[in-house]
Structures are given as C-alpha cells and as structure tokens.
Amino acid sequence: MDLIAAPAGATDLVLLAHGGEADSFKGAGDWRVALLRMWPFASVARAAAPDAAVGLMRYRYRGWNGSDASPAVDLRAVLDGLPASIRRVVLIGHSMGGRAVVAAGNHPLVSGVLALAPWLPPGEPLVALRGPVVFAHGTLDRITDPRQTAAYARRLRLSGIPVAMLTVEGEKHAMLRRTADWNTLVHRFTTAALGSTDCDALTADPDRTDPLPTWNRRTPLVSGIASIAKARLGSRLTHW
C-alpha cells in the first residue's frame, strides 16, 4: 500500500483498490491506466476526510488469477497488517479492485464498501459486507457487466444486507464521461461510511436500482483525463 495522506493521530483509513486483468502474474506497475484512474478519487477522499489516512493498494500482480484471487489476498493482508491506531477502514475499488473490496469487505475493520464498475462474475461468493454498501455501474460499460453487479446486489439484499445499486446513464468503464459525478459519489460515500452523513439509496428491496444523481455539469472527456494527471502529479507519497 502507498500512503497518499497520513495525518498524525489518524484512526481512519480510506483505502482505494485499482483494476487489473483476469489473469496475469506480471507486476502491477506504477503508471498503468488502471492505477492512475484512482488518483483523483484519492484526492476526493482527502477532501472528504481530512483527518483520515488515504492509501492506494499495490498488488503483487496485475491479475486476479482464478482461485488465487491475488488482489483480494493482498488487500486482506494489508488490512491485517495495519497499525493498531487504525480502527476503521473505508474500501473503494474499481473494476477488479471492486471485486477485491467486495471479497475483503467482511474484515472487522471495514466500515463501508464502494464498488465502482466492479467485476462480479456469476457465482462470485457472497460476502457479509460491513457498513454502507454501494455499487455504481455505467450503463454503457462493455468491460464489466452492470447486469452482473445488479445480480450480486440482489443476492446481498436477499441475504439481509441493504445495498445501494446506482446506474450511471451513458457511462463507460473508465468513468470519464461524468467525472465530477463519480467524484461526488466518492466524497459522499466516504463521509457516510465514516458516520458524518447518511448514505442515500440503501435498501433491502431486491430489484431496486437508482440513477446516479446529476450533481454536476457535464464536462468534456479531456477534462476527466486532465484531472487524473493533475491528481497524480500533484500528490506525494508518504509513510507511517
């Protein structure tokens, strides 16, 4: 894990998990697109929870790798190894990272799970997720399937776990068409998972979906790309 923020005395951690590939034992790398996409969300998390630490997962490998579930194993190892001062962890993951935060979302430190365009294939094990649980998926995503996300949300709800299932109209997998709305979602979720606000749209209704609100004016695709560069180049890594 790389720490993007580590305020003195922090007892909360917002931990972001990036996407990857179905199968690969190559190193995750520092400048891959999947990793870079999480940097703006890290900046948003810092603004939403200025007293919390903010971390970015670094997997050993870029692939899920079947039953090895490599990113989920790495994420759980990070959670198990956190300093005793950290009492709550908010998990936010995209794509394969969304699958990882779901897989590790029953860890006793977890206080909320946000999965953005997650990869949740049929037969994915059901996990007793902790805290508010929010899934959000673009309607035009062709990399991961929003129908599978809705199906997993339905299974969770039938097991008694309330879930917010948000559809993002006109959005693709990279989440660049409604960049500001994705950022607002991350901000609002972070404050809700840490108890500052309520989490909207949580429900046990198995088949309910809600549109992601249009909180912001649409901006050109290039603006979303520029925000990634700005967040990455404007941030520095730190350590406990």
Residue 230: predicted pLDDT: 78
Q: What is the model's pTM?
A: 0.94
Question: Three-state DSSP class for 172?
Answer: coil
Question: Three-state DSSP class for 75?
Answer: helix
Residue 73: predicted pLDDT: 98
Residue 9: predicted pLDDT: 93
Architecture of the domain spanning 2-233: 3-Layer(aba) Sandwich (3.40)
CA distance 51 to 11: 8
Q: What is the pLDDT of residues 148-200, one digit of tens each?
A: 999 999 999 999 999 999 999 999 999 999 999 999 999 999 999 998 667 87
pLDDT at 13 over 80: yes
Which of 55, 13, 51, 11 shows the shortest CA–CA distance to 235? Answer: 55
In this structure, what token pair is assigned to residue 152? 């997993």
| Residue 135 β-bridge partners | 115, 165
Helical pair 179-193 and 39-48, crossing angle rounded to 10 deg: 40
Of 93-97, 212-216, 219-223, 234-238, the one with minimum mean pLDDT is 234-238
pLDDT at 239 over 70: no
CA distance 202 to 47: 24
pLDDT at 237 over 80: no
| Residue 165 β-bridge partners | 135
CA distance 213 to 79: 32
Q: What is the pLDDT of residues 113-131, one digit of tens each?
A: 999 999 999 999 999 999 9
Which of 162, 152, 156, 165 shows the shortest CA–CA distance to 211? Answer: 165
Question: Three-state DSSP class for 9?
Answer: coil
DSSP state of 203: B
CB-based contacts of 156, cutoff 8 Å, min separation 6: 126, 129, 133, 163
Residue 153: predicted pLDDT: 98
CA distance 66 to 10: 35
pLDDT at 146 over 80: yes
Residue 214: predicted pLDDT: 93
